[in-house]
Amino acid sequence: MARWGMVIDLDRCNGCGGCMAACHKENNLAAVGADETVGMDRAFHWLKILPEVSGSGAEAEVRHVPHMCVQCDNPPCIRVCPVHATYLGEEGIVGQVYSRCIGCRYCMAACPYNAKVFNWYEPEWPGDLKKAANPDVSLRPKGVVEKCTFCHHRVVRAREEARAAGRPIADGEVTTACAETCPTKAITFGDLDDPDSRVRRLSRSSRAFRPHADLGTEPKVFYLAKKE
């Protein structure tokens, strides 16, 4: 079995937001208008770009940090869910069973990465927008917790195609929507247990680090620090 992970090169990310837009489209996150976004705080994202500012004045430097579920190998969110609506899959992806979620949000409180979101309102699909939804991803109702799934439906599709062809999944054959869309190729997705995969090599780089690794959560999203 693979152990899927991701490496994000902060030296390449320019904060364009293409990964956010791709995630929204791929995973059927409902779009809301500007009035509802600002006035009612209805917008939510599985992937955010967080700006980090170091220095001040003319010496200030901004670093753009794409932030999503880091797919922990030791996820605290799973231990607190009273109905087992969140789980750790065999390939290391932390999944959500939306039909089982009761909306208690204990998992959101337990997550040290603030990676999960909760929709207080019924998603609206004006006009023909619902017809453009991705059929591989379920439409969630209000009142359930959502999060990044590493585009698990793409992993499933690639696994089925590889199995039908009688071969293993090749490195780079499956990728997430955010990695596919990134114009600077700042995001790399792949099997961390494959010694020949690009994501494995990048995760062993001297610039690689994991967010809050001291907490013992064993995240599978690595970042590459900016080059000096």
Q: Regarding predicted confidence, which is higher, 8 or 32?
A: 8
Reference 1, options 82, 88, 86, 83; nearest CA is: 88
Q: Tell me: pLDDT of 42 over 80.
A: no
**Domains, the chain, ordered by start:** 4-224 (3.30.70.20)
Which whole number is the average pLDDT over 170-176? 94
Per-residue model confidence as pLDDT tens digits over 69-104: 999 999 999 999 999 999 999 999 999 999 999 999
User: Could you tell me which of 211, 212, 200 has the C-alpha nearest to residue 65?
Assistant: 211
Residue 157 φ then ψ, to 5°: -65, -45
Instruction: Give the per-residue pLDDT at 14.
Output: 93
Confidence category of residue 7, pLDDT binned at 50, 70, 90: very high
Instruction: Kindly provide the residue ranges of all beta strands, DSSP E only, lying in 13-138, ordered along the sequence.
Output: 48-54, 61-67, 86-88, 94-96, 117-118
pLDDT above 80: residue 59: no
- Give the pLDDT band (50/70/90) at residue 23: very high
Q: Is 104 exposed, middle or buried (0-12, 13-18, 19+ CB in 10 A)?
A: middle
Percent of the chain with pLDDT over 90: 78
pLDDT digits (tens, 9 = 90+) for 26-41: 999 987 766 666 566 6
Record the tokens describing residue 179, joined without a space.
Answer: 């990695």
